[in-house]
Chain A
Amino acid sequence: MVNITTHTKRRQGVTLVRATVTNSKSTTQTVTVESQVDGETWLPKRNGAVVPEWTDETWSAVLQPGESRGLGFATPGDPTDTPVDIVSVSRSEPAEMGNEQIIASLEEWSPPTDPSTEQQ
């Protein structure tokens, strides 16, 4: 199953929400979580851009079996018991390998030994 644990902290009129999502299934899962706080969601930024897992008030990521991921945001809204919750979990199809990768996974090929140098 996929679990979420949350933690909130209120400071100077801002609620900071942290959560950890864990995929304990044996298959890769796409997990989407959403803010449950009544108030605007201020999304985290990295190098000036919103981190790619976030779109509006939802966070979505692909979790490998056994993987845990952390997420967080800020909001002017008041803390609640469940500030963020899982809204969907779906099994991800394994990424298809490109032909270059398939070929690279085969036994290595090397050109034949140069007969002219072999004789020397």
Chain B
Amino acid sequence: MIIAVVGGKGGVGKTTVSLNLGWALDAVIVDADLGATDFPQSQGPGIHDVLAGRIKSTEAVERIGSVDVLSANYATEGARAADLQRFPDAISRLDRVHEAVIIDCPAGLAQDIGVFLDTADFAVLVTTPKPPARADASRTRELAVELGTPLSTVVVNKVPDETYSSEACEQLCTEIEAELRAAPIAIPYQSSVATTQAEGDPVSTVEPDSAAAQQFETLAERQRGIIIR
């Protein structure tokens, strides 16, 4: 099972979703943000070395915090030798030996996103309630549709507390479902989510009873039920 976590806009929480979903699914998380990673970095070889043909993807995976990660350690020499054409093979190699592969995609809509979406069995789209993020998510959705990659879920991330705990949340989700045509799931804004992430720990390991942790578990549960054709 290969899942691309995409969003279009930067800062909507793609890495947060990747980390928490990856942990819940016991997946390997591929940090595909080759230019500006915000994932915890390792000192060892990473995705750049894999894409440069220097090492097999399975050999570059390491444990960071409580998750398995193929990191984007872009301080590696020779990053320019990275070739996107190696990406699909590198990912299917991981898919053969891991429960699931999560591709934590960068922002934007360049060729790299096209390759990542095309490699994935399906995608999880991340947005925030704000209109610019939704507009970018909509463009990303269109590309996924063109490439024939289905969207399993749209994560409405960073929902303010006052909205999350009211009826407005349901209305927000209905609106976003109509816009982005995928089943929505709302995640409340919670400052501890970002704090735990810096160490590579999903919020579920630190605050398992929090609303965010429970929603991430629901998100994971939905992906587990998907049958790949």
Query: Within the assembled complex, what's the spacing in Å between the Cα atoms of A108 and B110?
Result: 6
Given contacts A111-B34, A111-B48, contact A103 B114 (CB under 8 A): yes
Given contacts A112-B79, A114-B79, A116-B77, contact A102 B110 (CB under 8 A): no
Tell me if B43 is interfacial: C-beta within 8 Å of chain A.
Answer: no
Whole-angstrom distance between the Cβ of B72 and the nearest chain A Cβ: 9
Residue of A nearest to B33 (CB): A112
Q: Is there an interface contact between A113 and B111, defined as CB atoms closer than 8 Å?
A: no
Query: Within the assembled complex, what's the spacing in Å between the Cα atoms of A99 and B114?
Result: 8
Query: Within the assembled complex, what's the spacing in Å between the Cα atoms of A112 and B32?
Result: 12
Give the B interface residue count (CB, 8 A): 27
Given contacts A99-B148, A115-B74, contact A106 B111 (CB under 8 A): yes
Whole-angstrom distance between the Cβ of B193 and the nearest chain A Cβ: 27
Query: Within the assembled complex, what's the spacing in Å between the Cα atoms of A103 and B80?
Result: 20
Given contacts A109-B112, A111-B34, A115-B74, contact A103 B118 (CB under 8 A): yes
Q: Is there an interface contact between A108 and B80, defined as CB atoms closer than 8 Å?
A: no
Residue of B nearest to A108 (CB): B111
Q: Is there an interface contact between B77 and A112, defined as CB atoms closer than 8 Å?
A: no
Q: Is there an interface contact between B109 and A99, defined as CB atoms closer than 8 Å?
A: no
Q: Is there an interface contact between B74 and A107, defined as CB atoms closer than 8 Å?
A: no
Given contacts A107-B110, A112-B34, contact A102 B147 (CB under 8 A): yes
Whole-angstrom distance between the Cβ of A44 and the nearest chain B Cβ: 40
Tell me if B81 is interfacial: C-beta within 8 Å of chain A.
Answer: yes
Q: Is there an interface contact between A106 and B109, defined as CB atoms closer than 8 Å?
A: yes
Q: Which residues of chain B are within 8 angstroms of A114 by Cβ–Cβ distance? A: 77-80
Tell me if B146 is interfacial: C-beta within 8 Å of chain A.
Answer: yes
Query: Within the assembled complex, what's the spacing in Å between the Cα atoms of A102 and B143?
Result: 9
Query: Within the assembled complex, what's the spacing in Å between the Cα atoms of A50 and B34?
Result: 53
Tell me if B40 is interfacial: C-beta within 8 Å of chain A.
Answer: no
Query: Within the assembled complex, what's the spacing in Å between the Cα atoms of A114 and B78?
Result: 6
Query: Within the assembled complex, what's the spacing in Å between the Cα atoms of A114 and B77?
Result: 6
Whole-angstrom distance between the Cβ of B194 and the nearest chain A Cβ: 24
Q: Is there an interface contact between A107 and B80, defined as CB atoms closer than 8 Å?
A: no
* Interface mask (A93-120 → B, CB under 8 Å = 1, otherwise 0): 0000101001110111101111111000
Question: Given contacts A102-B114, A107-B109, could you give 4 more A-B pairs where the C-beta distance is less than 8 Å?
Answer: A102-B146, A107-B111, A112-B35, A116-B78
